[in-house]
Amino acid sequence: MSSLDVSRGVCALVPGLQPWLENALFAVRVVDAASPRDRDDRRVLLATEIGHATHRDILITVVDGAPSLVAAANGLPARVAFGLEDMGFAFALIAELARPASVPAVGDAASVRLMTLASRVARSEATVLVQGDTGTGKEGMARFLHAGSGRCGHDFIAVNCAALPETMMEAMLFGHRKGSFTGAAQSSDGLFLAADGGTLFLDEIAELPLALQAKLLRALQEGEVLPVGATHPVPVNVRIIAACNRNLADEVAAGRFREDLYWRLNVMPLELRPLSQRRGDIVAIAAAMLLRQQDMGRAGFVWPTLAALEKLSVHDWPGNARELGNVLQRALVLREGDRIDAADLHISAAPQPLRAIVAQPVAAEPVRLRDVARHSKLEAIRLALRETDGHRAAAARKLGISERTLRYRLAEMRELAAA
């Protein structure tokens, strides 16, 4: 938990802020604005208490008019002004302004319980398996575990196993010696040794070929790696955090993942639920994303309206946080007013390709069944790529086809677009 001081004046003016912050993973201490403080303490104070503030603090004002956020600059603290209608989002902004970069944005009670468990796991040396749908924040969890561990002073190396060229996977993970294969003009340590003393995050672990899974298992059991072309293993001290957007136990049952490696990775399992099952996180994540997406120095911070937040809260978010980020970014670009309103949030339901084609005006030529089927397939591909943020391997899995078939279909889409 991150600690945060809140002045008694703030608690008296907005009593709901303290429980909100506590539910957002902060250890809140109520203090007098003028009380002594440590150098690194961060406080939430009233704007009238600015005489006791440092540049690390957050000043708040309750106003009748439009809300505003002024970022910390030139030695002055950040300032947040808001009224009753915008109070919920203002609380989320205050939490995100104070939150350390390594801590994910949370506001849901179940997420707080998970992060509390994760903070205990972080202090151990146990291997962790993080499972959850695409876009649920698996890498953010891995970074949180690293930051809370005794290895935080060493490197955190993240690698997407699905993005590694299959012919180079072994060399990239375990290193290689000069001349060990064509093109190996120089030796390379590999990602295991790059993370020596720190943490190696293996995302999309299910994409590793079975032969490489056996070598990964040996590396974990023996604490050493054998670079390609080497004759002697090299000791390595690394903590493994693995992640998968599929159920790894099902992959084992299907014969696509080694059972012994599964049990070696599944020492401390953490399951990230879809965003639709943790709606309390939506406002917190939206606040964090809007802070990252805006240049407050040029145009000021754009606030969402209460109607916009209500629209966000009822959507199912099949693309999870990535979809939420895309929706907010589009709204910032396409909004018509000074704030993001509900009408600016272009959230579409899953397309219905067949219905859309049948509903079109009758063309000069009759619609053929094979054309309807082809268009339905292409629309399904577009949807899968959108939901997986353009990740081809994940889209292919979602569609139940091979990456090779997906490449053929994408080539067909390009031909149709050029015609």
Region of residue 99 (left: phi > 0; alpha: psi -120 to 50; beta: else)? beta
Task: Give pLDDT, residue 384.
Answer: 74
Q: How confident is the model at residue 168 (pLDDT cuts 50, 70, 90)?
A: confident
Q: How confident is the model at residue 49 (pLDDT cuts 50, 70, 90)?
A: very high
Residue predicted with more confidence, 359 or 304: 304
Q: Which of 272, 303, 335 is the last residue of a domain?
A: 272
Task: Give pLDDT, residue 164.
Answer: 85
Return the CATH number at 291: 1.10.8.60
Cite the DSSP H helix spans in 254-305: 259-265, 280-293, 296-299
Segment 53-77 shows an average pLDDT of 93
Question: In the predicted model, is pLDDT for residue 331 greater than 80?
Answer: yes
Task: Give pLDDT, residue 364.
Answer: 40
Residues 6+ apart with CB under 8 A from 213: 257, 258, 261
Query: What is the domain count for the chain?
Result: 3
**What DSSP designation does 132 have?**
E
Residues 170 and 255 in one domain: yes
Segment 183-209 shows an average pLDDT of 88
Task: Give pLDDT, residue 226.
Answer: 84
Question: In the predicted model, is pLDDT for residue 308 greater than 60?
Answer: yes
Q: Which of 272, 295, 330 is the last residue of a domain?
A: 272
Burial class (CB in 10 A: 0-12, 13-18, 19+), 303: buried
Could you tell me the residue range of the domain that residue 84 belongs to? 2-105+279-344
Helix (H) or strand (E) holding 2: strand 2-7
Residues 288 and 189 in one domain: no
At 74, list the tokens. Answer: 């030139």
Residues 113 and 188 in one domain: yes
Task: Give pLDDT, residue 371.
Answer: 47
Segment 78-85 shows an average pLDDT of 95
Burial class (CB in 10 A: 0-12, 13-18, 19+), 16: exposed
Residues 101 and 114 in one domain: no
| Cβ neighbours, 10 Å, residue 322 | 20
Question: In the predicted model, is pLDDT for residue 172 greater than 90?
Answer: no
Task: Give pLDDT, residue 101.
Answer: 87
Quote the mean pLDDT of the chain. Answer: 86
Residues 8 and 116 in one domain: no
Residue predicted with more confidence, 354 or 340: 340
Return the CATH number at 259: 3.40.50.300
Task: Give pLDDT, residue 199.
Answer: 96
Q: How far apart are CA 344 and CA 290, in angstroms?
A: 14
Q: What percent of the chain has pLDDT over 90?
A: 63
User: ∠ CA(59), CA(61), CA(67), 5° rounding?
Assistant: 110
Task: Give pLDDT, residue 187.
Answer: 75
Q: How far apart are CA 135 and CA 118, in angstroms?
A: 18
Segment 283-309 shows an average pLDDT of 88
Nearest to 238 by CA among 172, 149, 132: 149
Return the CATH number at 371: 1.10.10
Residues 176 and 266 in one domain: yes
Segment 187-214 shows an average pLDDT of 91
Task: Give pLDDT, residue 347.
Answer: 86
At 61, list the tokens. Answer: 């004002």
pLDDT digits (tens, 9 = 90+) for 201-258: 999 999 999 989 999 999 999 999 888 888 888 999 999 999 998 899 999 999 999 9
Segment 28-34 shows an average pLDDT of 95
Question: In the predicted model, is pLDDT for residue 58 greater than 50?
Answer: yes
At 102, list the tokens. Answer: 């390594």
Segment 98-112 shows an average pLDDT of 91
Q: How far apart are CA 191 and CA 143, in angstroms?
A: 17
Question: In the predicted model, is pLDDT for residue 123 greater than 90?
Answer: yes
Residues 384 and 294 in one domain: no
Residue predicted with more confidence, 277 or 2: 277
Asked if residue 218 lies in contact with residue 229, where contact means CB atoms within 8 angstroms, the answer is no
Task: Give pLDDT, residue 382.
Answer: 74
Task: Give pLDDT, residue 376.
Answer: 58
* Residues listed for the chain: 419
Q: How confident is the model at residue 375 (pLDDT cuts 50, 70, 90)?
A: low
Residues 197 and 294 in one domain: no
Q: Which of 245, 272, 299 is the last residue of a domain?
A: 272
The SS3 of residue 178 is: coil
Q: How far apart are CA 357 and CA 374, in angstroms?
A: 11
Residues 74 and 181 in one domain: no
Segment 293-322 shows an average pLDDT of 88
Residues 250 and 288 in one domain: no
Residues 258 and 218 in one domain: yes
Question: In the predicted model, is pLDDT for residue 362 greater than 90?
Answer: no
Asked if residue 203 lies in contact with residue 159, where contact means CB atoms within 8 angstroms, the answer is yes
Residues 145 and 240 in one domain: yes
Cite the DSSP H helix spans in 99-137: 109-122
